[in-house]
Amino acid sequence: GKVESSFNNKKMQKVLHRTSRSVTSVSRKFTTIQDLVAREIIDSRGNPTVEVDVLTEIGRFRASVPSGASTGIHEAVELRDGGKRYKGKGVLKAVNNVNTDILKRVKGMDVTKQAEIDEQMIQLDGTPNKSKLGANAILGVSLAISKAGAAAKKIPLYQYYADLAGNKDLVLPVPSFNVINGGSHAGNRLAFQEFMILPIGASSFSDAMMMGCEVYATLKSVIKAKYGQDACNVGDEGGFAPSIQSNYEGVDLLMEAIKKAGYEAEVKIGMDVAASEFLTSDGQYDLDFKTPNNDGTSKLTGPALAALYTDLCKKYPIVSIEDPFDQDDWANYTAFTASIGMDVQVVGDDLLVTNVSRIKEASAKKACNALLLKVNQIGSVTESIDAVKLAKRNGWGVMTSHRSGETEDSYIADLAVGLCTGQIKTGAPCRSERLSKYNQLLRIQESLKVAGITPVYAGKDFRKTSWMA
């Protein structure tokens, strides 16, 4: 009897295997790219950007592409039309590239073959920086394909990104709220671009969200009392831009709001300096760069600027500094990371531009210890995942990031959870194009609970999450 039953079992397995194969081949038909429809839409700064719909047998899947203000010179090329229309910022060429050349190349491909589709587009472009088709064209397709792939597999987008990366750990990131704006994002004299609050001491993502919103509301009343109602107007990313003169004044404001809100133990501070924006032709850093023809007294050398950061870190609970030097100032990066990197995260944005070869160089030079993940700097989902995995293998932190010109699309929330990045920055808790990401994270936390999974919040382990590739 046993022999027979094992024989029958084997026979059954063969039948099942055959039927599952035929089912797969049938379902394969339902996950192909039937059409791509790209269009020009408007981002949160009033500039055109690319939106792409992928049409498959099971539906229409849509993604849109963000755009940065302070962009690194090493970033993949965002294709703009030039000419008078939209002051040269139209994206009809990129849209046309999706609707013609890219569609011809990828039509009929299986949407769950993300890496193959991305590779086809990269080959079709044929340039090292996607300047022929435009990174905005390629990325729009790549993102929409990932949504179609998740739907074809009948899993949430965050789980799909985790599967693509080979990650088993879903972790909700620490939100890094940009609440005070300076630099290229603001009309004040403040040189540093962003002052952020990170609720690393929260017990869950929703708890962190509450703390961020409460500190933001408190900060608004502090700023109103000190600088008047006008100072409560918000910048591109929802942060305030009061007429503060010094970086110390900026951090003091944050500390006052954190204390008044009652979260001194839980909330830490981060900065995005965006120093490439104020490097001078003689290799110094001008902290008064927004004052035309200034007297030059605010210029600092790289080491002097590093000393300023070190002093700030001694006086305030700063846990993260992004782009402290120019994107090609390797020597100052390396020296600074060696001196402060144990206690403070040194994040490469313009330095790394989410590019594997730049990450390799930075790793060899020990220039930083964290990656800022911006999918539009590199231009495809696959290359973004490769960059994250390499950063994690280096033992680095990873912060998923929005751009200053955003859309209502919320895929970076899924990316942050699926790739277990442990951190996300997507502006202040203000302006719907920022909140769409934070709200998606609240939904993801809820969906994990519903599925019977206890949601893990990165918290104090934001630099070293449970999945390090």
- Across 69-92, average pLDDT: 90
Indicate which residues carry an active-site annotation.
Answer: 237, 374
Q: Which pLDDT does position 18 carry in this prediction?
A: 43
Q: Which pLDDT does position 152 carry in this prediction?
A: 98
Lowest-confidence region among 6-15, 263-272, 421-430, 432-441: 6-15
Token pair listed for 98: 């999706």
- Across 157-161, average pLDDT: 98
Q: Which pLDDT does position 184 carry in this prediction?
A: 77
Lowest-confidence region among 14-18, 58-62, 157-161, 401-405: 14-18
Q: Which pLDDT does position 94 carry in this prediction?
A: 98
The four Cα atoms 359, 360, 365, 369 give a dihedral, to 10 degrees, of 40
Q: Which pLDDT does position 256 carry in this prediction?
A: 98
Residue 28 has pLDDT above 80, yes or no: no
Distance CA 72, CA 447 (A): 36
C-alpha distance from residue 294 to each of 61, 246, 326, 415, 438 (Å): 51, 15, 21, 43, 40
- Across 356-366, average pLDDT: 97
Q: Which pLDDT does position 29 carry in this prediction?
A: 59
Q: Which pLDDT does position 140 carry in this prediction?
A: 98
81: pLDDT confidence band, cut at 50, 70 and 90? very high
Q: Which pLDDT does position 446 carry in this prediction?
A: 98
Query: For 400-435, what is each residue's pLDDT tens digit?
Result: 999 999 999 999 999 999 999 999 999 999 999 999
Residue 124 has pLDDT above 70, yes or no: yes
Residue 458 has pLDDT above 50, yes or no: yes
451: pLDDT confidence band, cut at 50, 70 and 90? very high
Q: Which pLDDT does position 25 carry in this prediction?
A: 44
Chain mean pLDDT for the chain:
93
Q: Which pLDDT does position 68 carry in this prediction?
A: 82
7: pLDDT confidence band, cut at 50, 70 and 90? very low
* Strand (E) or helix (H) holding 209: helix 205-227
Q: Which pLDDT does position 1 carry in this prediction?
A: 55
- Across 87-111, average pLDDT: 98
Q: Which pLDDT does position 6 carry in this prediction?
A: 45
Identify the CA nearest to 63 among candidates 163, 152, 139, 133: 139
> Could you give the residue ranges of the DSSP H alpha helices within 322-410?
330-340, 356-364, 375-378, 381-393
55: pLDDT confidence band, cut at 50, 70 and 90? very high
Residue 460 has pLDDT above 50, yes or no: yes
189: pLDDT confidence band, cut at 50, 70 and 90? confident
Unique residue bearing structure tokens 């408007």? 42
70: pLDDT confidence band, cut at 50, 70 and 90? low
Q: Which pLDDT does position 22 carry in this prediction?
A: 41
Q: Which residues have C-beta within 8 Å of that of residue 257, sequence separation ≥ 6?
A: 179, 215, 216, 218, 219, 222
Q: Which residues have C-beta within 8 Å of that of residue 25, sequence separation ≥ 6?
A: none
Identify the CA nearest to 346 among candidates 256, 387, 330, 429: 330
- Across 431-451, average pLDDT: 98
317: pLDDT confidence band, cut at 50, 70 and 90? very high
Residue 20 has pLDDT above 70, yes or no: no
Q: Which pLDDT does position 21 carry in this prediction?
A: 44
Higher local confidence (pLDDT), 155 or 29: 155
Residue 8 has pLDDT above 60, yes or no: no
Residue 370 has pLDDT above 60, yes or no: yes
